[in-house]
Amino acid sequence: MNPGDRVGLELPPGLGFSLELAASDRLCYSASAMMDASTTHPSRRDRARVTRLRMTRAGQRVFIARGYAGARMADIAAEAGVAVQTVYFTFHTKAELLQACYELAVLGEDDPRPPVSQPWYAAMLDAGDGRAAIRLFAEGFSAIAARVALLDDVVRSAAHEPGALQVRSLNEQLRRDGYGRIVGHLSSRFGLRAGLGQAEAVDIMFTLAGPATYRGLVADCGWPHDRFVDWLAATLSQQLLAPGAAY
């Protein structure tokens, strides 16, 4: 077994699209911060952040191009322009690097904040009607899905790889947990469709607002991003909300 294939993923709680992910220093370094660091006198910590981001970006490219099984840590190191020992020192295992790639995709680089700290989430909670709240969710989710969808394909296709399976299972459960909190908010504030329980509502949201759905309609079927947002908002409103809350 190669070191990069080892299992034993050690992750802090609340990762993935759990809607509670903290934008910690170890996670990523924004593009603007990278530029600032390169034009001043970056500290050792700043340089480590920049190197971590470069390796994570390289990991995303190599995973998407070669799949989880085909991506070697040496290939990722070469893509990032660092020694392979640096990749192992930073991420320890290929599964941990894959998780870092997920985190970077969820948070983005320009303003790396967890979804609950992003403007769309606060606006969703403050919305005065259910349809507006779901529209804001659809916009926020779709922006994340556009970054995550191809990487999610890599993980879905590597279900036989224990490390990739662990990463996927973790993030899918946390996505479901996050959706549970959103459905709870919709239910308590606006009311769900008659006969629809919260557990079933979470199942519907989990299926429709998933990276695979985004990829299927946008990448495979050629839908524009905005059309997907419109469809997701309308479909979730119809499927989840009581009539009075949706209009």
Please write the tens of the pLDDT for every residue from 90-126. Answer: 999 999 999 999 888 888 877 777 888 889 999 999 9
Taking residue 154's Cβ as centre, other Cβ atoms within 10 Å add up to 23
- Mark 111-121 as b/e (b = at least 16 C-beta within 10 Å): ebebbbbbebb
Per-residue DSSP letter, 109: S
Domain boundary among 113, 144, 166: 113
Contacts for 142 with CB less than 8 Å, ≥ 6 apart: 214, 225, 228, 229, 232
pLDDT of residue 3: 39
Q: Are residues 76 and 158 in the same domain?
A: no
Residue 60: inside a domain: yes
Give the CATH number of the domain where residue 124 resides.
Answer: 1.10.357
- Expressed as residue numbers, the domain containing 102 is 22-113
154, 136: one domain: yes
Class of residue 13 by CB neighbours under 10 A (exposed 0-12, middle 13-18, buried 19+): exposed
56, 87, 113 - which closes a domain: 113
Out of 113, 137, 156, a domain closes at: 113
234 and 228 in contact (C-beta within 8 Å)? no
Rounded-to-integer distance, Cα 26 and Cα 69, Å: 25
H or E element at residue 146: helix 130-156
* 128 in the same domain as 97: no
Report pLDDT for 174: 86
Question: What is the token pair recorded at 105?
Answer: 């995709």
Per-residue pLDDT tens, the chain, 247 aa: give them: 443 343 344 443 333 343 333 333 334 444 444 444 445 677 888 888 899 999 999 999 999 999 999 999 999 999 999 999 999 999 999 999 999 998 888 888 777 778 888 899 999 999 999 999 999 999 999 999 999 888 888 888 887 888 888 888 888 998 999 999 999 999 999 999 999 999 999 999 999 999 999 999 999 999 999 999 999 999 999 999 988 654 4
Q: How far apart are CA 145 and CA 231, in angstroms?
A: 14
Task: Tell me: do 90 and 137 sit in the same domain.
Answer: no
Q: Note whether 244 and 142 are same-domain residues.
A: yes
Beta-bridge mates of residue 81: none
**140 alpha carbon, distance to own chain's centre:** 11
pTM of the model: 0.77
Q: Quick check: 21 and 15 in contact, CB under 8 A?
A: yes
Position 128 in a domain = yes
Q: Residue for token digits 């659809």?
A: 138
Q: Does residue 13 lie in a domain region?
A: no
| pLDDT computed for residue 108 by the predictor | 80
Residues 140 and 239 in one domain: yes
